[in-house]
Amino acid sequence: MLFIWGCFKAVSGRENIMKKELVSVILSACMAVTLLAGCGGSTGTASSAAGGAADNAGAAAAGAAAESAGEAEAGAADEAVASETAADEGGADSAEAESKEATEAAEEGESAEAAEAGAASSAEAGDLGLLEGGKLIAGTNAAFPPFEYQGDDGNPEGFDMALIKEIGARMGLEVSIEEMEFDALIAAIGTKTDCAIAGMTVTDERKQNVDFSDSYYDAVQSVLVPIDSEIATADDLKGKIIGSQLGTTGSFIAAEIEGVDPREYNKALDAVNDLINGRIDAVIVDRNPAAVFASKYPEQIKSLEGAGFGFEPESYAIAIKKGNSKLVEGVNAALKEIHEDGTFDKLVEEYIGEAEE
């Protein structure tokens, strides 16, 4: 083992990635054999390999190691590679703990198949920092048409849902959607979800807690008012009862209006209902959902362009766990492809029915 480790050190000093990978593969395979043979495959060996090989750890090496080391060894080799990935992210301590687990798993004679399946997913999960390997869990709030709404079967549908599925497909990931209140989306990232896609506006405040993908849609707030309302300018909103959805940019704007009586709702539609019932004077909500609500109740309400109220332009992006640059890069690469091959425009046409401005 020492000899191989020496070779690895020598090669890793250079920039030859192919060689590094080859040595890493040999190293992983040897480690697996050593671990299984029970002759010196100690925690120390595995964790020092984990530290040294951290920069070229990956599923490819795991796969190759599994092939050359054979079925039974695959589990341990994969576990070792998974711990390399952990070393990359979590530092030596967690790598040591994980390598210990790998050793124990091998010693306990855990079935190669089960170990392999577990390790493969944790290796993948490590690469993109996903909660579950091979799966992208996206949070949304399906009350924001046309971006997300309840489909006929009760499942979330809409532009964002189609977009995230397309992104997942390009990244080779299964997409699963978690529905929750809009206000809970950011806190759920990293524990319940991997990302949030919910017509979410990029704001400096949110950027303190999450990273964002490239923007995929331009937006602005609109003002919904009763059909016979005289509200037409920013001045007219002063001192009014204004509804908005909790935790949204619309609610941030409403809170700033002089003399306002702000009313926050979990769903924009609940605010719209109160507007129709005469309980509030106006609703501030994003332009596209405003248009959908106005077209649903054309006799009762109308939507006024935000520009007339001096609202700032906004843009939507996918929120991702802060610091997970690999997932941001993967999502951005997929988004770029989706734009370039015309899929994006098709989705806009299908779900939004207008050209993006």
**Interface residues toward ligand GLN, by CB under 6 A:** 141, 144, 182, 198-201, 245, 248-249, 286
Is 146 or 199 the residue whose CB approaches ligand GLN more closely? 199
Q: Which residues are CB-neighbours of 216 under 8 A, at least 6 positions away?
A: 163, 315, 316, 317, 318, 335, 344
Burial of 343 by CB count in 10 Å (0-12 exposed, 13-18 middle, 19+ buried)?
Answer: middle
Provide φ and ψ at 148, rounded to 5°.
-155, 135
* Shortest distance (Å) from residue 62 CB to ligand GLN: 39
CB of 199 vs ligand GLN, minimal distance in Å: 4
In whole angstroms, the minimum distance from the beta carbon of 184 to ligand GLN comes to 12
Nearer CB in complex with ligand GLN: 141/213: 141
β-pairing, 217-219 vs 314-316, is antiparallel
By beta-carbon proximity to ligand GLN, the closer residue of 129 and 146 is 146
Beta carbon nearer to ligand GLN, 83 or 221: 221
CB 267 to ligand GLN: min, Å: 9
Report in angstroms how near the CB of residue 308 gets to ligand GLN at its nearest.
19
Residue 34 or 141 with smaller CB distance to ligand GLN: 141
Between CA 354 and CA 352 the distance in angstroms is 6
Alpha carbon distance 260, 241 (integer Å): 6
CA-angle at 19, arms to 14 and 20, nearest 5°: 70
Q: Nearer Cβ to ligand GLN, position 19 or 267?
A: 267
Distance between CA 303 and CA 320 in Å, rounded?
Answer: 32
- Which residue's CB is nearer to ligand GLN, number 100 or number 322? 322
Q: In the complex, what is the shortest distance from the CB of residue 351 to ligand GLN, in angstroms, rounded to a whole number?
A: 15
Shortest spacing between CB 198 and ligand GLN, in angstroms: 4
Which residue number, 115 or 275, has a Cβ lying nearer to ligand GLN? 275
Question: Residue 287 is encoded by which pair of tokens?
Answer: 């332009």
Strand order from edge to edge, sheet including 148-150: 143-144, 148-150, 156-157
146: exposed, middle or buried (Cβ count in 10 Å: 0-12, 13-18, 19+): buried
CB of 325 to ligand GLN, least distance (A): 22
C-alpha to C-alpha distance for 347 and 331, rounded to whole angstroms: 17
Query: Does the N-terminal peptide bond of residue 146 adopt cis geometry, omega within 30 degrees of 0?
Result: yes
Q: What SS3 state is found at 88?
A: helix
Enumerate residues 6+ apart whose C-beta is below 8 A from 3: none
Which lies closer to ligand GLN via its Cβ, residue 248 or residue 324? Answer: 248
Shortest spacing between CB 192 and ligand GLN, in angstroms: 17
Nearest CA to 198 among 208, 188, 301, 190?
A: 188
We find the least distance from the C-beta atom of residue 248 to ligand GLN, in angstroms, to be: 3
Alpha carbon distance 331, 334 (integer Å): 5
Residue 303, phi then psi, degrees to nearest 5: -110, 130
Report the residue number, 159 or 344, with the smaller CB distance to ligand GLN: 159
